[in-house]
């Protein structure tokens, strides 16, 4: 069967059930709804295209950050929809997602894929465009334990960034362990999930938040 991509908000809702911290969000279908949702969530907000055919939203001009007024939210709605239509005229535009803007943090990626020979594989690594080029990632075949997760975190080259490096404060490694464990459980228990990509997870001195999720199901 062909795999299907869940929308960002379906992905958020699924991960939230496992205790993964996700930004407050709403789906809107008109500029006026966008303005109202943004006010309710509180400024600044991020707005993103909601279309099953658009996998990489930024590539389509489908992500606008730091929206700080009701009027800006209304304008952003129109801009995002216009950009998405220009990018892919055949894309079905289901609406726009309005999200609470998460504070900047250390960006990490957590992913999963299904290998034909080995089965489900969990991946973890440093995020951010520059570091992604260097592929600082580690992986394990499921099933794994919490100790495996601790090893994965410690073995990436970027680990000093989590531990605290040259005067930068240590990040919340315990929260990261909890999130990775929750994601591992989500992957193991949902047999229809074949692949997913959480990019990025933002890790803070205290706490964390994911700000994007793509899940593919059979």
**Residue 212 interacts with Mg ion (CB under 5 A): yes or no:** yes
- Closest residue by Cα to residue 90 from 60, 64, 46: 60
| Residues in the chain, overall count | 218
CA distances from 76 to 47, 65, 68, 195 (A): 7, 9, 11, 31
DSSP assignment, residue 133?
Answer: H
Structure token pair of residue 10: 């379906």
Bridge partner list, 134: none
The contact set with ligand ADP (CB under 6 A) reads 23, 46, 48, 56-58, 63, 65, 99, 101-102, 200, 211-212
Q: Of 18-26, 88-96, 119-127, 192-200, which segment contacts Mg ion by CB under 5 A?
A: 192-200
Residue 56 contact, options ligand ADP, Mg ion, none, Cβ 5-8 Å cut-off depending on partner type: ligand ADP
Q: Which of 67, 199, 213, 215 binds Mg ion (CB under 5 A)?
A: 199
| Closer Cβ to ligand ADP, 34 or 46, answer by number | 46
Residue 137 contact, options Mg ion, ligand ADP, none, Cβ 5-8 Å cut-off depending on partner type: none
Taking the C-alpha atoms of residue 118 and residue 191, their distance in angstroms, rounded to an integer, is 15
Give Cα 119 to chain centroid, integer Å. Answer: 23
Structure token pair of residue 97: 């997602």
Nearest residue relative to Mg ion (C-beta)? 212
Shortest reach from residue 147's CB to ligand ADP, in Å: 30
Residue 33 contact, options Mg ion, ligand ADP, none, Cβ 5-8 Å cut-off depending on partner type: none
Shortest reach from residue 100's CB to Mg ion, in Å: 16
Q: Is 193 left (phi over 0), alpha (psi -120 to 50) or beta?
A: beta
| Closer Cβ to ligand ADP, 86 or 141, answer by number | 86
Taking the C-alpha atoms of residue 71 and residue 69, their distance in angstroms, rounded to an integer, is 5
Residue 101 contact, options ligand ADP, Mg ion, none, Cβ 5-8 Å cut-off depending on partner type: ligand ADP
| Contact residues: Mg ion, CB under 5 A | 199, 212
């Amino acid at each position: 069967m062909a795999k299907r991509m869940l929308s960002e908000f379906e992905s958020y809702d699924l991960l939230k059930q496992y205790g993964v911290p996700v930004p407050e969000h709403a789906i809107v279908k008109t500029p006026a709804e966008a303005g109202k949702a943004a006010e309710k969530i509180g400024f600044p907000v991020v707005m993103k295209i909601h279309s099953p055919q658009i996998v990489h939203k930024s590539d389509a001009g489908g992500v606008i950050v730091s929206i700080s007024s009701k009027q800006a939210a209304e304008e952003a709605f129109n801009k995002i929809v216009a950009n998405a239509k220009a990018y892919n005229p055949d894309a079905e535009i289901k609406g726009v997602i309005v999200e609470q803007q998460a504070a900047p943090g250390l960006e990490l990626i957590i992913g999963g894929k299904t290998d034909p020979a080995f089965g489900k594989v969990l991946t973890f690594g440093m995020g951010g465009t520059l570091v992604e080029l260097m592929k600082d990632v580690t992986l394990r075949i499921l099933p794994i334990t919490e100790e495996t997760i601790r090893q994965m975190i410690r073995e990436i080259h970027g680990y000093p960034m989590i531990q605290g490096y040259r005067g930068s404060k240590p990040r919340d490694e315990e929260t990261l362990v909890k999130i990775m464990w929750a994601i591992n459980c989500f992957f193991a228990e949902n047999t229809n999930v074949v692949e997913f990509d959480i990019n990025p997870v933002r890790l803070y001195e205290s706490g964390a938040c994911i700000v994007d999720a793509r899940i593919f199901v059979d």
